[in-house]
Amino acid sequence: MDTVSLQSRRIVSGMRPTGQLHLGHYHGVLKNWIKLQHEFDCFFFVADWHALTTHYEDSQIIEESVWEMVIDWIAAGIEPSAVSLFLQSKVPEHAELHLLLSMITPVSWLERVPTYKDQQEKLKEKDLATYGFLGYPLLQSADILIYRAGQVPVGEDQLSHVELTREVARRFNHIYGREKDFEEKAEAAIKKMGKKNAKLYSNLRKAYTEQGDADALETARELLKGQQNLALGDSERLFGYLEGGGKVILPEPQALLTPASKMPGLDGQKMSKSYGNTISLREPEQAIAEKIKKMPTDTNRVRRTDPGDPDKCPVWQLHEVYSDDAQKQWVQEGCRTAGIGCLDCKGPLIDSVCAELKPIRQRAEDLSAHPEDVRRIIEDGNEAAREVARDTLDEVRAAMGLSYK
Ligand code: SF4
């Protein structure tokens, strides 16, 4: 695969190491990563610097969680041979790019990111009026742009972060993508596409720049993605030239929208450590059973003979995740007619959750017994990530006049 297609198929995603992973992480993020790992060139990282933005006062938890989180990822089905797994702080290029991008990012862009105010409201017990917290969406932009990722898997609530990343990349390319003799170099690059494609590119560019034909722009981009013979620099020039601008040094990523996790917590709220309603990925079977048995149910079912309403019961929400149609039918009828008791209703769920977590727990035990293997996986991933990050940063420094050769 050529470099440009590889870039557009590159995915970057991270997770903060702030405690044990639970079923919410598994259903909300990891199952999606597992699906993506064979379809894309995936870079998954432990976001330890991001964890510091909210946990700078209790950073101990970060250190404790890093390796456990990697074990959970692999135990859940992430294959180290298929993806690059790494630790953010071991790829310091993220920090340098963050610093450089901070020079061109208006403070108002960061202040208007919706999660900035939301998180301060939600996490009132923490002092989040810090420079680091304001800047964390820009650090995320650097995390993505340093790999020139084409796609970023996000939920609806994170779309604004991808939008910020796109704006920052656009601004960067606008300011620093202008090279001397840009047009001459772009015209020379067009010729390298071969007669037929060069003509097609020029016509499509004309249709977009002169008539604003958005379809022509899209077709031209697709045409460029398929050009095996172009060097990366030429390809970047031609992507920029299409829109009349300069060289595209930091390509704008697209959001790969992932459905919101339906994983409810044990109390019916979203599963989250801060609500104390989780089942961890390595929860022993007895603890799983106890937690599910203690789950609250429809409060109208005081006695076994009282009929209930699954729509008012958090246990039903778990059935929606774990049960097939026949089982759901059994719950609906049994609950509404008082044909089953709540403990009967919870039984199949205990079995399903235990069955889901058993292989994960066993793999995690094996991995925990060989910590050196886990460390080696991360060291290899750090190196693979740095190799890509270094290339981007070399080009960024050169564009900004900081290469001092
Ligand atoms: S029978 Fe099931 S769905 Fe109905 S109230 Fe009890 S636990 Fe909830």
Q: Write the residue with the smallest CA distance to atom 6 of ligand 1.
A: 342
Answer CATH for 3-177+255-262+371-400 from 3.40.50.300, 3.40.50.620, 3.40.50.1980, 1.10.8.60: 3.40.50.620
Ligand 1 test: best mutation among 322, 344, 345, most atoms within 8 Å of CB? 345
Ligand 1 touching residue 340 (CB < 6 A): yes
Q: Can you give the pLDDT of all 405 residues of the chain as single tens digits?
A: 444 455 678 999 999 998 889 999 999 999 999 999 999 999 999 999 999 998 898 889 898 899 999 999 999 999 999 999 999 999 999 999 999 999 999 999 999 998 887 777 777 777 788 999 999 999 999 999 999 999 999 988 889 999 999 999 999 998 998 777 888 899 999 999 999 999 999 999 988 888 888 899 899 999 998 888 888 888 888 988 887 777 889 999 999 998 777 789 999 888 988 889 999 999 999 999 999 999 999 999 999 999 999 999 999 999 999 999 999 999 999 999 999 999 999 999 999 999 999 999 999 999 999 999 999 999 999 999 999 999 999 999 999 999 887
Ligand 1 test: best mutation among 335, 336, 344, 349, most atoms within 8 Å of CB? 335
Distance 270 CA to ligand 1 centre (A): 19
Q: Write the residue with the smallest CA distance to atom 3 of ligand 1.
A: 310
- Cβ-count burial 311-347 (b if 16+ within 10 Å, e if not): eebbbbebbebebeeeeeebbeebbeeeebbbeebbe
Ligand 1 touching residue 313 (CB < 6 A): yes
What is the Cα–Cα distance from 218 to 251, expressed in whole angstroms?
15
Count of CB atoms within 10 A of residue 260's CB?
A: 11
Q: 19 by DSSP, 3-state: which?
A: coil
**Helices in 77-148 by DSSP H: which ranges?**
93-102, 107-111, 114-122, 131-145
136 Cβ partners below 8 Å, 6+ apart? 50, 53
Q: Can you give the residue ranges of every domain in the chain? A: 3-177+255-262+371-400, 182-242, 282-368
Does domain 282-368 fall under CATH 1.10.240.10? My reply is yes
